[in-house]
Structure 1
Amino acid sequence: MNVRLKNSENSITTEEITISGSKSESNRLLILQQLYSNIHIENVSDSDDTHHLQEALSSANSVADIGHAGTAMRFLTAFFATQEGETKVLQGSERMHNRPIEILVNALRDLGADIVYIEKEGYPPLKITGKQLTKNKVSINGNVSSQYISALMLIAPSLEKGLEIELIDKITSVPYINMTLQLLHQLGIEAEFKGQFIKIAPTPVVKKQTVVVESDWSSASYFYSIIALSELGSSVKLSAYKEDSLQGDSCLVEIYQHFGVRTIFEENSITLIKEKEHDTSILVQDLKNAPDIAQTIAVTCFGLGIACDLSGLHTLKIKETDRLEALREELTKLGAEITVTNESLHLKPSAKINKDIQIATYNDHRMAMAFAPLALKVPIEILDAEVVTKSYRSFWKDMEQLGIK
């Protein structure tokens, strides 16, 4: 399905839009719920990734197919490795079979896990035979995807001796590690992250409790972009969000001040207001702790005709697509002057946006959603638009509610 977008007016005012729970929080809690059955979860993400994870956890089939869901692949690899007497084949889409997982598999093998590569060394699909993991110390690079580290953290309290994880060299995506840590604390699990070490105590049981998942800040980023590209006075209310969020992407609050967007926190919601004109100076941001919002920010800058230098983006090379190259390709079609490296993006100011351009999405939900706000400036067509269901099923319906037809 392709979607052609246009906007009749450049002012946005709407009633409250409810965004489903954070995919990152939901997927962590679902793994923990499998280890501790007395946990009840509310406002679970409605994303494809979370649906894939739930299906894999609830199915008795010997094969679990998680499609494009990278988080599910990493978390399930660790989880299935601890399930004694159970053998699972864990597979996904063609793209997933070209996303490396060797660093996590090596760490799990160091703990005693039985994991075999079925096709290509270092990549899914995997054959995992669950067993009791008795070792309690492991080392892993700190500059890899934080999902590898979180996968180990999530199984740690269920291990007989707990787990000590040593992070080698520079540590990236710290907010996602801290998110996992805070969720463990919320359940009453003793865990600490000091210097290069994460230590998690063995925890056979936790108390019965209900956990409410905060809405997804990555999904909120597209509304930040829309308000930034709108006329002064435009606003939108989003729920359910917390000022003391666990999610690294909540840095949107500060970053979008550069674009004239103010965030007002109310009870369980935020209101975004285009309070002033955007700053015309170059936006310089290190996004190593929030790489998932890089696409949105780059498109916002292009739509406003301002320059940006975004760094800390090395993990974008191994996402659903090579997001840096995808951004370079699609923004260039729109008229941007842009260069990328293996870890950064550099955009020059643009005075013009080419209209009626078809935006390829590369099987990447964030490509579709990041470019949609440009419809406030020019008519634009998003190819394979249904890809948004990976993280945000009601995205196009919510865009219509804002007046983007």
Structure 2
Amino acid sequence: MNLLLQTNHKNLQGQIAVTGSKSETNRLLLLKALFPNITLANTSNSDDSEVMQKALVGNDEIVDIHHAGTAMRFLTAYFAVNADREVVMTGSSRMQERPIKILVEALAQLGVEISYEKEEGYPPIRIKGKKVTASKVNLAANVSSQYISALLLVASKLENGLELTLEGEITSIPYIKMTLALLKDLDIQTSFEGNVIKVFPKEAVESKEMVVESDWSSASYFFSLVALADTASITLTSYKENSLQGDSELVSLYEKLGIKTTFDGNKMTLVKQENFNYQTVNFELNNTPDIAQTIVVTCLGLGIGCHLTGLHTLKIKETDRLEALRIELTKLGAAISVTNDSLTLNASQNINHNVRIATYNDHRMAMAFAPLALKVPIIIDDAEVVSKSYPDFWNDLKALKFEVSEL
């Protein structure tokens, strides 16, 4: 499905209910599988969360998680400590290019037997679950936080808990802290001192309802829409001012792009500031790499430059996001350069019309480029890819009076 996006309505007003956080939902789905007496509310309706849920409640020997990277990492740890269960974890062709070796080697330190069905270091993998008594693991600190969270989520069910030593400089700390905060909410004892994280064993937890906060990564596209509109006030639900999600840093980042954010209960309102003095921005996104695509497109639409660093994990996402951004932004007329961990966009006032944006099986490519429709008509190829994290996205754009037509 290819969509043409355009709009004559440059003054945006509205209220949008955004689906629950995929990051929180997938963590809590795994914890619910370990502790069935907890209940969940406001869970994500994303493809990734549905795949995760299906795998956790099913009994299939082959578990296909399609494009869901979080599910691949979390479920690898879950099945590894699930005694007497043997599964083959597989996914899409892109998933079979995304590395899993670091997590497999970490689980091997705990005595778990995992083998590769095709290429060493990559899915599909065969996991023979076992009861784990070992409790110490060393792991490089600059890897995807999902490897770390995968181990932490299952740690309380290990006979002797887990002591995880991270070697080097830690990246994506907010996602690690989110995992630890959810464990704390269930009264699972943890500590995080220096580069050592400990999770203590816990047989059972009290019955409790866990309410998932709405997804901040999904909110990023509305920050971009407000920034690129002539005037705008958009209210989003359900959000917390003191969020567990690292992408809540959007509030301070987009303040430098002319947006004032206020909170009232569980509602967050974004307002475009009048007569804002726009300047080139330099953002270090080590803790929030998932919002890099949104920010660079916002800067293109505003006609300002940006230099974004801390992006090394983007190369192993749904696609090589840095290279994808370079290709698609160049089509739009941008002057952009990328390295292995950074991106630089030069200020320019010109944006090419009716450009077809390839999405590379990456939900964030589709949604990050959509706000440019406030500036020029734009075509999004394979637009259904948004279902991975935000299935209602195109309908929510229509609610803001965008013309969304299928080609």
In structure 1, the residue matched to 2:22 is: 23
Alignment of 1:331-346 (within 5 A): 331-346=329-344
Distance in 2 between residues matched to 1:360 and 1:277, nearest whole Å: 34
Distance in 2 between residues matched to 1:295 and 1:32, nearest whole Å: 30
Q: 1:395 to 1:283 in 2, by over 3 A?
A: same
Q: Deviations over 1:53-85 (max 9, x none)?
A: 011111111111000000000000000001111
Alignment of 1:6-405 (within 5 A): 6-14=6-14, 16-232=15-231, 234-405=232-403
Give the number of equivalent residue pairs: 403
Of residues 271-280 and 160-169 in structure 1, the stretch that sits farther from structure 2 once superposed is 271-280
Asked if structure 2 preserves the Cα contact closer than 8 Å seen for 1:71 and 1:147, the reply is: yes
In structure 1, the residue matched to 2:2 is: 2
Q: Deviations over 1:214-266 (max 9, x none)?
A: 0000000000000000113x111100000010000000001111121111101
**Residue type of the alignment partner of 2:13:** T
Distance in 2 between residues matched to 1:78 and 1:356, nearest whole Å: 45
Distance in 2 between residues matched to 1:257 and 1:302, nearest whole Å: 17
**Residue type of the alignment partner of 2:194:** G
Distance in 1 between residues matched to 2:170 and 2:186, nearest whole Å: 25
**Residue type of the alignment partner of 2:207:** K
Distance in 1 between residues matched to 2:114 and 2:295, nearest whole Å: 39
Distance in 2 between residues matched to 1:397 and 1:356, nearest whole Å: 21
Distance in 1 between residues matched to 2:80 and 2:9, nearest whole Å: 54
**Residue type of the alignment partner of 1:7:** T
Distance in 1 between residues matched to 2:400 and 2:163, nearest whole Å: 48
Gaps of 5+ in 1: none
Distance in 1 between residues matched to 2:103 and 2:358, nearest whole Å: 31
Q: Deviations over 1:319-358 (max 9, x none)?
A: 0000000001000000100000000000000110000000
- Which structure 1 residue ranges, 4+ long, deviate > 6 Å from structure 2? none
Q: Deviations over 1:271-328 (max 9, x none)?
A: 1111234432210000000000000000000000000000000000000000000001
Q: Under a length normalisation based on structure 1, what TM-score does the superposition of the two structures give?
A: 0.99
**Residue type of the alignment partner of 1:67:** H
**Residue type of the alignment partner of 2:391:** R
Distance in 1 between residues matched to 2:275 and 2:197, nearest whole Å: 44
SS at 2:12 equivalent: coil
**Residue type of the alignment partner of 1:140:** L
**Residue type of the alignment partner of 2:88:** V
**Residue type of the alignment partner of 1:270:** M
**Residue type of the alignment partner of 1:104:** L
**Residue type of the alignment partner of 1:132:** K
Percent of pairs with identical residues: 57
Distance in 1 between residues matched to 2:356 and 2:19, nearest whole Å: 28
Query: How far apart are residue 9 of structure 1 and its match?
Result: 2.0
SS at 2:23 equivalent: helix
Q: Under a length normalisation based on structure 2, what TM-score does the superposition of the two structures give?
A: 0.98
Asked if structure 1 preserves the Cα contact closer than 8 Å seen for 2:258 and 2:278, the reply is: no
Distance in 1 between residues matched to 2:290 and 2:402, nearest whole Å: 23
Asked if structure 1 preserves the Cα contact closer than 8 Å seen for 2:259 and 2:272, the reply is: yes
